[in-house]
A and B are shown apart, each in its own frame.
Chain A
Amino acid sequence: MSEREVLELLRENARYETADIARMTDLDEDEVADAIEALEAAGIVRGYQAVVDWDRLEDERVRAEVELNVTLDRETGYDDIAERLARFPQVKALRLISGDYDFDMEVEGDSIREVSRFISEKVAPVPEITQTVTHYVMASYKENGIELGDGEDDDRLSVSP
Chain B
Amino acid sequence: MTRSLEPAERVQAVGPSGIRRFFEIAEERDDVISLGVGEPDFSAPWAARDAAIQSLERGKTSYTANRGMYDLREAISSYVADRFGLEYGPDEEVLVTAGASEAVDLAFRAFVDPGDTVAIAQPAYISYGPGVTFAGGEVLPVRTREEDDFRLTVEALEAAGAEAADLLVMCYPNNPTGAVMTRADLEPIAEFAREHDLAVLSDEIYAELTYDERDADASPGAATHASIATLPGMRERTIVCNGFSKAHAMTGLRLGYALGPAGATGAMNRVHQYGMLSAPTTAQYAALEALDSCANDVEAMVDQYGRRRRFVISRFREIGTPCFEAKGAFYVFPEVPDGWDGSANDFAERLLREYGVAVVPGDVFGVGGEGHLRVSYATGLEDLREALARIESFVDEHV
Contact = CB atoms under 8 A, between A and B. Distances in A.
Contacts of A161: 17, 19, 38, 125-127, 175
Nearest to A13: B381
B307 A157 contact: no
A9 B306 CA distance: 12
Interface stretch (B3-11, B26-34, B47-55): B26-34
29 contacts: A9-B307, A16-B381, A20-B385, A23-B311, A24-B307, A24-B308, A24-B310, A24-B381, A25-B310, A26-B310, A156-B34, A156-B37, A156-B41, A157-B37, A158-B22, A158-B23, A158-B27, A158-B32, A158-B37, A158-B358, A159-B22, A159-B23, A159-B37, A160-B19, A160-B23, A160-B37, A160-B38, A161-B125, A161-B175
A13 B311 CA distance: 15
A26 B360 CA distance: 26
Contacts of A9: 307
Interface of B: 17, 19, 22-23, 26-27, 32, 34, 36-39, 41, 125-127, 175, 307-308, 310-311, 314-315, 358, 360, 381, 385
Contacts of A158: 22-23, 26-27, 32, 34, 36-37, 358
Given A156-B39, A161-B17, 16 more contacts: A13-B381, A20-B311, A24-B307, A156-B37, A156-B41, A157-B23, A158-B26, A158-B27, A159-B19, A159-B26, A159-B34, A159-B36, A159-B358, A160-B37, A160-B38, A161-B19
Contacts of A25: 307, 310
A9 B308 CA distance: 11
Interface string A1-39: 000000001000100100010011110000000000000
Interface in A30-59: none
Contacts of A26: 310, 314
Interface string A119-161: 0000000000000000000000000000000000010111111
Contacts of B307: 9, 24-25
Q: How large is the interface on A (under 10, 10 to 19, 20 to 34, 35 or more residues)?
A: 10 to 19
A-B residue pairs, 10 tightest by C-beta: A159-B36, A158-B26, A24-B307, A158-B34, A23-B314, A23-B311, A159-B23, A159-B22, A24-B311, A160-B38
A52 to B, nearest CB: 18
A154 B41 contact: yes
A157 B27 CA distance: 9
A148 to B, nearest CB: 17
B249 to A, nearest CB: 11
A20 B388 CA distance: 12
A159 B125 CA distance: 14
Nearest to A12: B381
A16 B358 CA distance: 24
A123 to B, nearest CB: 37
Given A156-B41, A158-B32, A23 B19 contact: no
Nearest to A27: B310
